[in-house]
A and B are shown apart, each in its own frame.
Chain A
Amino acid sequence: MLTVKENVLLPVSLGRMPKAEAEERFRRIAAELELLDLAARYPSELSGGQRQRTSAARALIREPSIVFADEPTGALDSKSASSLLGLMERLNRVQGVTFLMATHDPAVSSYCSRVVFLRDGAIYSEVYKGERSRQAFFKEILNVQAVLGGDHVDTL
């Protein structure tokens, strides 16, 4: 029942953030997630991906020190997914925000600095990105997953 902008700004109203700063943050995040044109829309006017981007923006607007994300790119197309992941990576690098996410997608997990593989509820293995490139890290994740046997693997 709230517009995209109202939704994103909802957590802000809790604190005592000045309106101008809140507005500024909204512009930045909304531009990043391509939500600016949708600011006045209601949830029923949004696609699944647009809704997910809205909730991501809502989670990020207060610049928390840690974010828990469950399949954050689940409903997103590859372009929106990479822009969301890019934003998360930047926030992590520049502002030191920690992201902890669960995903089935090796490409998504390649954005992380540490990946923990789960199998049937137990930790199976883990890999660190270190100084490698994302492509190299992605390959290693795929390798581990191949050994794991595919289906029932969660990476963390």
Chain B
Amino acid sequence: MWTRFDWIVRSMRANASSYVFYGFALACSAALYFIFAFLQNEAPAESAAVGGFRSAEVFQAAGILTVLIGGAFVFRANRLFLKRRSREIGLYQLAGLSRLEVARLLLAEQALLGAAALLMGTCAGALASRFFWLLLLKLIDAGREVPLSFSGTAALQTIGVFAGLIVLALVQIGIGILRSPLPRFEAVARSLPAKETEGRAALAGLASAALIAAGYSLADRIARPQGLAILPIVLGAALAGTYLLLRVAIGGLLAYIRSRQNGHLSIAQSLSLAPIMHRMKSTANSLTWITILSALMLTLLALASSLYYSAETESRAMMPDDFVFENMPHQAQAFEARLEQKALVFTHRSVPALRVRGAGDTPQNAGSLLLPAESLVYAGEEAAAWHISGADPGGALPDLPGPGEAFAYRGLERQPLREGRDAGRVWNPLHPGMDTEERAGRGETGLSGGGLRIARSLDRYAVNYSVRGRQFVVRAAGVQELRMQCRNSALCEEVRLDLYRIADPNRRAAASEAYADDGARPGMHPYFVFFYRESLHKFGLLLFIAAFLGFVFLVSTGSLLYLRQMAEADAEKPDYAVLRRLGIDEREMMAGAVRKQLFVFAVPLAIGLLHSIFAVRAASALALSNLFVPAAAALLLYTLTYLSFAALSVRGYRRMIRETAERDMV
């Protein structure tokens, strides 16, 4: 007498190969999620700010992405699972079990599998997160000791989220079994190709083009403030558009081509067109998800690699000077002496700046920092160091603002789309809340007239970001005028800045030692090398995560497509046997099989690439540097991975075709 448990174990053993695959994938995504949840909870607050987001948020987003990918995988895998075992389910019913009992049996199996995978995933995640934790600490702040403990929060979070996922999967399977029709023993699939009329297909094509175009144009807004709120809309539009395109429009196109043939299909067509149309519905489902998710992945990867490779440029945009002393002339002199001692070549600018707290300034913001342009200008060889960053890629010297004009250096507030709007506005540092266009209309510029005209708005800093205040570069005369205006009032504050740049980039580290020699004191500003290294490490980690996620995702979608193709090849075996008997040789059959693989892999590749190009374009607003090279590299990798999986499945088809030949000879 067999117990129920015996049955379960036996049936699991019989399905071992697919269970191992499924369980492994589930465990992997649980482990990945654990790592991200762990980093999200434990990441030190100082490791903040990756492209404007806090690192905890980045890790949270990565975690959510993992769950989405894992969930999509579980859902697809369960559909395949139900299809594959429909025969077995039928047999159980024929053997006298009720549907409910069958459901109980399979659900117990799934629950056991899910629990095992979750346990394994959490353990693997706990082990791996240790490694990631050390890596993170090493990259962000090597010196600090932070005790590592098993993160209960992360474990609970992982178990909670994935238990939810497994329960959803169980519900899906339960419903699937209860709804499954009575056993089908015919090898022939019952489904018929969807019959799309040409009108409907054309309409759907237009609708999908409109949806996708809407998604693309909205995508540009994500980079703007509060833009993340429209992310679901963009994703939804892209999803719906892609699905319509794949399911109805391409399906309709294929049906049209087929009906034009009026029954006279070539061998290649009957081996590619017909089976593709036959499975259009399920193919469209999976291709849609794969397309959208790979576009997301590619964008993330391109963004991360851009951030990493532009770390120096971005750091320069944040910190144009290597060292800054604010109101510390004596320390500056001492530092200078140490630099000379070390025989370092450097430039020094002493800048008499003015910090103004206008009537509209809140206690939270630091007011405006007015910098005299003349003392910031570098001439001759020194000039080469001036515009490294993206604002003027030509390396041209910025011309001085005219009298009554100001250049606004907006730095991190960068809102590329507003650049044009700010330029030409009139602004008065004493009344920053009242910058009205009316004054400009009356032509009243200059401080005595009412304000400075913003001649240019730049998304970088004029002096290091750590110097408080919104930065404006004004003619020295303008600064002087303002200084006179607010003399003896509490509104203005003199700021003496000593700016240092080291000529030889390789000796910056040595100079940093001279800077740190003095020990940390309140009021000391961070220095370039430190900031640059930190951001390099930070973005390096981000790139690592993105590359890791992206690779896992690429390989899993590629293998999902491959497994699907192999399952289809199995189902098509009898057809190939018939063709063989009709005297069709391997070469002709392979032509059809290759065409089918091309379609199955190239269509998601092409649409995914298109999506990614637009997504990267939208994302490039978040990065200062050009995304082209990293994006092109990521797209190339994506293409190559898919092509190799396509080659694998072509090989699988060839093997299957040869098998049919051998079987016939017996």
B190 touching A44, Cβ below 8 Å: yes
A31 at the interface (CB under 8 A from B): no
Given contacts A13-B264, A13-B266, 7 further A-B contacts (CB under 8 A): A5-B262, A5-B263, A9-B265, A14-B583, A22-B264, A42-B192, A44-B190
- In the complex, the 8 A-B pairs of residues with the closest C-beta atoms, listed nearest first: A5-B263, A1-B274, A1-B278, A13-B266, A11-B582, A6-B265, A44-B190, A6-B263
B265 touching A13, Cβ below 8 Å: yes
Q: Which of A9, A14, A42, A58 contacts B263 (CB 8 A)?
A: A9
A10 touching B582, Cβ below 8 Å: yes
A43 touching B584, Cβ below 8 Å: no
Residue of A nearest to B275 (CB): A1
A52 at the interface (CB under 8 A from B): no
A1 touching B575, Cβ below 8 Å: yes
B270 touching A10, Cβ below 8 Å: yes
Q: Which of A8, A12, A44 contacts B188 (CB 8 A)?
A: A44
Give bound CA distance, A36 to B277, whole Å. 23
Query: Which of A54-80 touch B at CB < 8 Å?
Result: 58
Which B residues touch A13, using CB under 8 A? 264-267, 270
Which B residues touch A45, using CB under 8 A? 192
A19 at the interface (CB under 8 A from B): yes
Which A residues touch B583, using CB under 8 A? 11, 14
Write the A1-35 contact mask toward B (1 if CB under 8 angstroms, else 0): 11101101111111000010011001000000000
Give bound CA distance, A5 to B263, whole Å. 5
A6 touching B270, Cβ below 8 Å: yes
B116 at the interface (CB under 8 A from A): no
Query: Which of B575-621 touch A at CB < 8 Å?
Result: 575, 579, 582-584, 588
28 A–B contact pairs at CB < 8 A?
A: A1-B193, A1-B275, A1-B575, A2-B270, A2-B274, A6-B263, A6-B270, A6-B274, A9-B263, A9-B264, A9-B265, A10-B267, A10-B270, A10-B582, A11-B583, A12-B264, A13-B265, A13-B266, A13-B267, A14-B583, A19-B264, A23-B262, A23-B264, A26-B263, A42-B192, A42-B193, A44-B189, A58-B582
Q: Which of B191, B262, B265 contacts A2 (CB 8 A)?
A: B265
Q: What distance in Å separates the Cβ of A71 from its nearest Cβ neighbour in chain B?
A: 16
Query: Which of B274-301 touch A at CB < 8 Å?
Result: 274-275, 277-278
Q: Is the interface of A mostly helix, strand, loop or mixed?
A: helix
Give bound CA distance, A10 to B267, whole Å. 7
Give bound CA distance, A22 to B261, whole Å. 13
Give bound CA distance, A79 to B267, whole Å. 33
Query: Which of B188-226 touch A at CB < 8 Å?
Result: 188-193
Contact A10-B189, Cβ < 8 Å, known A1-B575, A2-B270:
no
Which B residues touch A42, using CB under 8 A? 192-193
Q: What distance in Å separates the Cβ of B281 from its nearest Cβ neighbour in chain A?
A: 14
Q: What distance in Å separates the Cβ of A127 from its nearest Cβ neighbour in chain B?
A: 30
A39 at the interface (CB under 8 A from B): yes
Give bound CA distance, A112 to B299, whole Å. 72
Give bound CA distance, A134 to B235, whole Å. 74
Q: What distance in Å separates the Cβ of B411 from its nearest Cβ neighbour in chain A?
A: 62
Which A residues touch B186, using CB under 8 A? 44
Which A residues touch B588, using CB under 8 A? 14
Give bound CA distance, A150 to B524, whole Å. 111
Write the B173-188 contact mask toward A (1 if CB under 8 angstroms, else 0): 0000000000000101
Give bound CA distance, A12 to B261, whole Å. 13
Q: What distance in Å separates the Cβ of A57 from its nearest Cβ neighbour in chain B?
A: 12
Which B residues touch A9, using CB under 8 A? 263-265
Which A residues touch B189, using CB under 8 A? 44
Query: Which of A76-119 touch B at CB < 8 Å?
Result: none
Question: In the complex, which of the residues A13, A19, A45 has the most CB atoms of chain B within 10 Å of its own CB atom?
Answer: A13
Give bound CA distance, A22 to B264, whole Å. 8
Which B residues touch A44, using CB under 8 A? 186, 188-192
Residue of A nearest to B261 (CB): A6
Which B residues touch A43, using CB under 8 A? 188
Residue of A nearest to B191 (CB): A44
Question: In the complex, which of the residues A1, A2, A5, A10 has the most CB atoms of chain B within 10 Å of its own CB atom?
Answer: A1
Give bound CA distance, A8 to B578, whole Å. 12
Q: What distance in Å separates the Cβ of B423 from its nearest Cβ neighbour in chain A?
A: 63
Q: What distance in Å separates the Cβ of B327 from its nearest Cβ neighbour in chain A?
A: 81
Give bound CA distance, A5 to B258, whole Å. 12
Give bound CA distance, A21 to B298, whole Å. 52
Which B residues touch A12, using CB under 8 A? 264
Give bound CA distance, A1 to B192, whole Å. 8
Give bound CA distance, A94 to B189, whole Å. 40
Contact A39-B584, Cβ < 8 Å, known A1-B575, A10-B270:
no
Query: Which of B234-268 touch A at CB < 8 Å?
Result: 262-267
Give bound CA distance, A66 to B264, whole Å. 24
Which A residues touch B262, using CB under 8 A? 5, 23
Which A residues touch B275, using CB under 8 A? 1
Residue of A nearest to B572 (CB): A1
Give bound CA distance, A14 to B583, whole Å. 9
Question: In the complex, which of the residues B192, B263, B575, B582 has the most CB atoms of chain A within 10 Å of its own CB atom?
Answer: B263
Give bound CA distance, A41 to B304, whole Å. 53
Which B residues touch A1, using CB under 8 A? 193, 274-275, 277-278, 572, 575
Give bound CA distance, A9 to B588, whole Å. 16
Which A residues touch B575, using CB under 8 A? 1
Give bound CA distance, A22 to B262, whole Å. 11
Contact A10-B265, Cβ < 8 Å, known A1-B278, A58-B582:
yes
Contact A3-B263, Cβ < 8 Å, known A43-B188, A44-B189:
yes
Give bound CA distance, A45 to B190, whole Å. 8
Which B residues touch A10, using CB under 8 A? 265, 267, 270, 579, 582
Residue of A nearest to B265 (CB): A6
Which A residues touch B265, using CB under 8 A? 2, 6, 9-10, 13
Residue of B nearest to A19 (CB): B264
Give bound CA distance, A5 to B584, whole Å. 18
B267 touching A14, Cβ below 8 Å: yes
Give bound CA distance, A42 to B186, whole Å. 14
Give bound CA distance, A8 to B583, whole Å. 14
Give bound CA distance, A44 to B583, whole Å. 24
Residue of A nearest to B274 (CB): A1
